[in-house]
Each structure stands twice: as C-alpha cells, then as structure tokens.
Structure 1
C-alpha cells in the first residue's frame, strides 16, 4: 500500500478522526506579527535617549552624567516599560487584536501605555490615585485613554484586576511584570544603553548608579545587568517618604505596608511590589520629600528646563553619594536618570502654594545643594 493510500485510510478511520478538519485559524498570530512590527517600526523612529554630562567643576575628580529619559515620545522613563509590557503581553498570547488594556498606575506608565494602545488600536483604561496630577490625566486622555480615579491608592490594584475582568480585557500589572518583561541581559535596555554611552568617557565604568524605585523594574534591570556583565559599579537606590521599599530592604521584610501614598509621583509604594528585587541593590538611602523637590528645582535651574520630582530624588541621592566620595578622596563617574519633565507638575511641585499646603520647606535644602555644587561646605 502506498504512503498516500495509508494516510487516506487513517483519515477515514477512527485513528484519524478529526484530522480532516482545516488547521486552526492564524488570525491571532497574524495580528501579533503586525502589532510587533508596528512597535518595532515606532522604536526605530526614536533614537536612544541622551546621556548628558553635567559639568560641576567644583566636584574635582568626579564626573556626573544624567540619562535623559524625558526625551521618549511619551516623555518619561516609563516609555521603555510600557513597550516591554506590550511586547510581553503580545508574545505570551494575552494581548490580541480585540483586547481592552487595563493598568494600575500613578500616571507616567499609563501615559506611555495609552500611547502604545492607541498605536495598536486597542482601548485603554488607567486606574489611578485621585491625587495624580491633572497634567498626567490629560496626557492619558489625549492618547485616547480612560481614567478611573480612586480615593485610596491601595485600591488601584484590585480595581484594575476587577475592571479587566468586567471588560474581558488584560490587566498589564506593571508592578508584577516589570522585572520579567524587560530583557535585563541587553536588547538596548536602560542599563545596556548607559554602559554603551559611557564607553568613551574618562571613567567609563560608573562608580555608582543612583536610581529611585517605582515598580522596581528599572532597578532590577540595572542591578542584574551590572552583575551579568561583571562590572564593579554599585547600585544605590533612593526611596521617598511614605514608601516601604527602604524598610523592606533594611529589615528584609517584604510584608511591610504603608497607609499613605508617596508624595513624589512615580516612585515609592505603600507595599513591596513583586518587581522590587532587594538582592540586586548595593545600598538604599531614604530622601526627605522636601530635599527631593528642592533638588528638582536646583537641577531645573541649572539645566534651563524643568524636571520632575523623582528626578529630584535621584539627583539629591547622587549629591549625597558624591559628597561621600569626595570625603574619601575617591574619583570616578556617577550616573542617574532624568525620569520625566517638569511640565506635568506645574500645579504641584512648581506651585509654591501647593508646597506650602504640604508643609514643606524647600529653601534650606536648596541653599545646601547650591553650596555643595559650588564647592562650599554644607552641613
């Protein structure tokens, strides 16, 4: 009997029952291929973000660099995370051509995810604290997204999951998937980009990278990459008031929780997020909110453009590390991030009435930072 006749006999008998049906539709696979191509094309249109040399002659022997993530199409570091989360969802088969997208966010991630949802023609819903700046809400809505505001920030997780279920959509859940959605070994992640751009500098391998944590995904990526590439760089993570990351790191307790939201949008959390990996962090420093916002204003003045509050946290932490290195007679380079621009915070961080209402006094910190950058001692 020929092979063809044998196959036909199998198809007509019990052993081949059902095999005569057509192969399953490849509609979802075709959409995924088109969606991935759109995201790849969009990425090619955007050059890598700049690494700025922040010249401070008074800090002799130290070179300061600022990785400017505010130049992404959606204006913040979270553009990288949003792209990774969509790629992760599409390649895992969760995000399809008719999938409503839901996220829990304090703003910047939602702005970036709304951008990618619009690119792919998908509806987007952001579940956010009611305290989120009006500028961020408007940015999400300009991308076609819908905002659900919650009075209690701790409720955003459960509400995002419930909303996704009601819509038969997908909750991207940045706080859980940030550390695994990003390819920490390379693929132009934030860490690889920093080290490649530093390769021709006098101190090519940074002594310290200073970074704040929101989801924990960026610090996980940087910390893993440093170890993977066997660099001597130390990772210093700065935390803010009303955040539990610092306490979790110091006490080794991932169950610690807080009652109040972070005043510095985008960083600090009332719970230890799954993506926060304390094991890849070399040290943590808690920064007062007044110091963060004072550093934000000082840096904005020196750059000639406004930066956001989390950038102020990063920069104040960098100044603390720089002061310690100077006292120890150490030389080298330090890197931190400009996470986003300041135009999203005109009604809050750049509004003196808002600052006064928060009971914050920025002037002493501003004077101290300016003195340090000018080479004068400051206690």
Structure 2
C-alpha cells in the first residue's frame, strides 16, 4: 500500500512558495529569530520614573518610561513579540512583506524589526497619522499605505497581504497571545522587579491604556498568575468603544469615529482586549488627556504622547481617591512614547482649537490637586 506525503508549506497568509524543510529557509529562519532575540539583549530595561507628590500623602506615583526603547515606544516590546510569533509560526518568510494596520507607533517598531531581518514592511494607516510617525516609519525602511477611514485599516491590510503574498501581522488579534504574560522579562515582571526596594513594592493599582489591549492583558494576567493584590485600571479616550463594551458586557460594541489619541482607543472590541482580566475602566475626555500630558512636561520635564496623558489623568484620579480614603500605597502608569512625535497635535494650541478642545478646566483641576490634595477632576 503506497503512502502520500506533503512537505510543510503555507501559513496564515502564505502562498506555498516556501519549502519549510529547505536548509536555506531553515538557516534564514534561525538567523532571523537570533537577530530579534539579540535586540532584547542589547536593550537595557526601561526606567521607572517618580512623579513628585507630597511626602506626607503617603502615596507614590510612578511612570514606566517605555519611550527609551530603540524605536521610542511601548510598542517595541509588542513588535518584538509579534515578529517572534510570526517567524516561529512560519508566517513571515524571506522576501515577502509584513503588513500591519497601525496608526503609528506599532508600525514604527515593526518597520525596525522588518529591516533587522531583511523583509519589506508596509503600514496601513489613517491619513490623519502624525507627520513625525510617518517619517519614522520611512526612516526604518517601511512604506506607508493610507486609508481615509480608520475603520478600513483591517480589511485593506488583509487585502494587501493577499495581493502581495505577504503576512498581515494583525496586532489587534495577536497582541495578547504573542506576549509571554507569565514573565520572561515582560513589562509586568519588570515593574515588580524595579519596585522591590521601594516603600510600597506591590502597587495598589497599575494603569494601562488600551489600543490592542495586549499590554493590559499581559499585566493583568501576570498579576493574577503571581497572586498579587494589585488592581488593573484601563482608561479609554473619547471615540473608543472599549469602555462601553466593558461596562455593558457587549463584545459587539462599536464607535462610529476614530480616536484622537493616537495609539489607543478603537472603533471595535479588539480580539486582544481581554475585559475579564481587568478590574476597572475609566472614560477620559481627550481634553483631560492633553492637559495631563502637558502637566507631565511642567512637573517632570518630559514630553510624552497623548496616551500617556490618558493614563496619567486616571492615575492621578486614583491617587486622589486613595488620599481621600486615607489609604497609602503606590500607583504605576506608563509613559508610552515621546512627545516630539506630537508637537503638531497635543502641544499645539492651534490643533486644540481646530478640534474644539478646551484643556483649561482640566489643567486647573490638576494644579489644584497637586497643591491641595483635593481631586475635583
């Protein structure tokens, strides 16, 4: 009786053009994985910055500064995980493009890793993406493919992968599963290691904004796995459906407009957003996000992107609640990316006027809180 045999080809978006048993392909794959892993070894851990609060409050506020990664944002961790996941699954192949739906920072980081292993990269993004992010993607060798409606990014990315024989990375589906949430120097493990010698080494709260939802899922899962008492809060900006979907328990929640806070907020409930893992959500007005990120520049001397402001506003609110209840402890939020990518947006009064955003009441609320300890935001 005869036997039939078929060598392993294909993958998520593969077209059968690679023989997985070919020694040349195996050598390329080993080298690509080595290069991506070596990047982690070259990158020192990111800093944990203190946001100054009055000592007698008995509360410490920290920002995990992810802007110091080689590509300048939190998304460097995600891109590294996604590339390792795609390579080890046989989805990323020599000479074939990697394609991503991204409003900016993920695309910058993925362009970096694509260049590192020598494959083309195409970012599918809205026309409203900041000029600086476009420049950075192209600086790392990527191409930008624009859509006039951010809700079309998914289908256009998939169609582009189909036309080119490339791989659609799909961060919004694979972010939570590509990251090792049990440890292995992920962002959660790093936070706890850096807090070991602080007066409150186990934070009362960690605040993590959500774009894909992968970071909040990683942190929350790690907290549960390690049996910590830390609670996880996810703030959501205007024009995003995550808050409504979470509060209503509605996985089909949508928004008919795109987020003005680049990198976070989505028009649909993304597969990588894990509502059951987190403990609290806050809806944060975009004007409050901008006021908070400008306050960070004033108080700490660091410019950051709008997503950092969304998280900082929520962290300050939590600090205010703890202070009012007489509780002590620490709170951690994220400095997601540098503000020089957004000088024409969140640091531009002309842009605020164009968007109809008045940050004055929120700026006053932050200033009053830091001076008196009374949160009225």
**Structure-2-length-normalised TM-score:** 0.93
The 2-side partners of 1:316 and 1:17 are apart by 62
Contact 1:103 1:160 in 2 (8 A): yes
Distance (Å, rounded) in 1 between the aligned partners of 2:239 and 2:294:
21
* Structure 2 counterpart of 1:66, from 63, 66, 79: 63
In structure 1, C-alpha distance between the alignment counterparts of 2:334 and 2:176, rounded to whole Å? 18
The answer as to whether partners of 1:58 and 1:373 remain within 8 angstroms in 2 is no
Q: 1:256, CA displacement in angstroms? A: 1.1
Kindly state the Cα deviation for residue 58 of structure 1 after the two structures are TM-superposed: 5.9
Residue 134 of structure 2 is aligned with which of 129, 132, 137? 137
Contact 2:240 2:267 (C-alpha < 8 Å) held by counterparts: yes
CA distance in structure 1 between the aligned counterparts of 2:197 and 2:120, rounded to whole angstroms? 44
**After the TM superposition, which of the residue ranges 366-375 and 211-220 deviates more from structure 2?**
366-375
Deviation at 1:30, TM superposition (A): 1.4
- Matching residue within 304, 321, 335 for 2:301: 304
List alignment gaps of at least 5 residues for structure 2: 6-19
Residue 240 (structure 2) pairs with residue 215 (structure 1): no
Match for residue 34 of structure 2?
37
CA deviations 1:166-193 (Å, max 9, x no partner) are 1100000000000000000011111111
Q: Secondary structure at the match of 2:201?
A: coil
Structure 1 residues 376 and 320: CA distance shift in structure 2, 3 A: closer
Q: Distance in 1 between matches of 2:4 and 2:235?
A: 63
* Equivalent pairs, count: 362
Task: For 1:92-111, list aligned pairs within 5 A.
Answer: 92-111=89-108
Bigger mean CA offset, 165-174 vs 32-41: 32-41
Q: Distance in 2 between matches of 1:283 and 1:59?
A: 27
Shift of the alpha carbon at 1:28?
2.0
Residue 326, structure 1, aligned to residue 323, structure 2: yes
1:44 Cα shift? 1.4
Partner of 1:6: none
1:352 alignment partner in structure 2: 349
Q: Which residue is equivalent to 2:288?
A: 291
1:198-230 CA-to-partner distances (Å, cap 9, x unmatched) read 111111000000111000000000110000000
In the other structure, the counterpart of 2:122 is 125
1:241-280 equivalences under 5 Å are 241-280=238-277
CA, structure 1 residues 162+60, in 2 after alignment: closer, same or farther (shift >3 Å)? same
Deviations 1:50-81 (A, max 9, x none): 11122211661101111000000100000000
- The one of 366, 369, 374 equivalent to 2:371 is 374
Question: Given the alignment, which residue of 300, 312, 332 partners 1:335?
Answer: 332
Distance in 2, Cα, partners of 1:224 & 1:179: 10
C-alpha separation between the residues in 2 aligned to 1:98 and 1:17?
A: 30
Contact 1:238–1:286 at 8 Å: present in 2 too?
A: yes
Cα distance in 2 for partners of 1:308, 1:24 equals 45
Contact 2:122–2:144 (CA under 8 A) maintained in structure 1: yes
Structure 1 runs (4+) deviating above 4 angstroms are 14-18
Find 2:227's aligned residue among 219, 222, 230. 230
1:11 matched residue in structure 2: none
Partner of 1:89: 86
CA distance in structure 1 between the aligned counterparts of 2:296 and 2:372, rounded to whole angstroms: 16
**Contact 1:307/1:341, CA 8 A, preserved across alignment:** yes
5+ residue gaps in structure 1?
A: 1-13
How far does residue 24 in structure 1 lie from its aligned partner after superposition?
4.2
Within-5 A mapping of 1:195-214: 195-214=192-211
Contact 2:235 2:311 in 1 (8 A): yes
Question: Where does residue 10 of structure 1 map in the other structure?
Answer: none
Contact 2:108 2:136 in 1 (8 A): yes
Q: For residues 137-176 of structure 1, what are the structure 2 equivalents within 5 Å? A: 137-176=134-173
What is the aligned partner in structure 2 of residue 9 from structure 1?
none
